[in-house]
Amino acid sequence: MTEVVLHIYDVTNSGSDKTNNTIVQINKIFKDGIGLGGIFHSAVQVYGDEEWSFGFCEHGSGVFSCPPSKNPMYTYRERMVLGKTNCSIFNVNQILRELSREWPGSSYDLLSKNCNHFCDEFCERLGVPKLPGWVNRFANAGDAAMEVAGTTALRLRQAKAEVVSASKVAYRFLSGVSSNTANSIGSSESPGNASRGNPRIQATWFKNLMSIGNKPSSSELENEVEDKTLQDPPRHPRENTLHSV
């Protein structure tokens, strides 16, 4: 069994002394003052004089090593023993080879896949406790905030789509009502429109319409007189006398 040591640094690689000093002060206040956390880099040492961590690179693995507490990019802060591992040197080297394949440098993400996430994974495979919560609390909080923001944005897009769909349905409904109303008004103003669906009635109405204004023939007049005589026969003079009494 051998010890697994965690090395912790203040992240002071911004390239600006003012920004680096600000980060150091933030870490002092939030970690040393109230124990909440800060902005930290971490690395794990097990077997030998090297610490292992993870960072961004465009090509190849993001897993790298350097002498313990000697990473030139950050300001060293402290070390802590996480526990003892039962893994042999051979097992540790095998784990590191696996992690090197699984953690390409291009997959680095400040909030969701950073050096502290790598050390958590490494410690889990070594069979020792993970990093204390304060080491990566700011990144985890930022990642959770991003997830909430993404979920909220998705819900807003869904709500917007539902509003647009409802508006389209309402528009089609109102358009249909307007069209039906217009058709009803047109129907009440058009002669014979109530029976417009019947082709025979349509033909009869059109024929009658075309015959309006034509001068009737003499035979049509005689037939009309005969029809009227049959419908209204002449009354007997006696009937007229009875009625006049």
User: What is the C-alpha separation between 59 and 62, in angstroms, rounded?
Assistant: 8
In this prediction, residue 183 carries a pLDDT of: 60
In this prediction, residue 34 carries a pLDDT of: 78
Q: Read off the pTM.
A: 0.58
Q: Which of 115, 117, 119, 123 is catalytic?
A: 115
Per-residue burial over 216-245, b if 16 or more Cβ lie within 10 Å, else e, is eeeeeeeeeeeeeeeeeeeeeeeeeeeeee
In this prediction, residue 238 carries a pLDDT of: 47
User: What is the C-alpha separation between 223 and 183, in angstroms, rounded?
Assistant: 41
Task: Write 106-113 long-range contacts (CB < 8 A, 24+).
Answer: 106/56, 106/57, 106/58, 106/59, 106/62, 107/62, 108/54, 108/55, 108/56, 108/57, 108/62, 110/139, 110/142, 111/139, 111/140, 111/142, 111/143, 111/146, 112/139, 112/143
Question: Using one digit for the tens of pLDDT, what is the confidence trace for 58-79?
Answer: 999 999 999 999 999 999 999 9
In this prediction, residue 38 carries a pLDDT of: 86
Q: For the chain, which residues score pLDDT lower than 50?
A: 142-150, 152-153, 194-197, 205-206, 209-213, 215-216, 221, 225, 236-245
Tokens 């069994």 sit on residue: 1
Q: Which of 41, 87, 117, 123 is catalytic?
A: 41
Task: Give phi and psi for 48, each to the nearest 5.
Answer: 95, -175
* Residue 41: how many other CB atoms lie within 10 Å: 25
R_g of the chain computed on alpha carbons: 48
**115 belongs to the catalytic site:** yes
In this prediction, residue 162 carries a pLDDT of: 57
**119 belongs to the catalytic site:** no
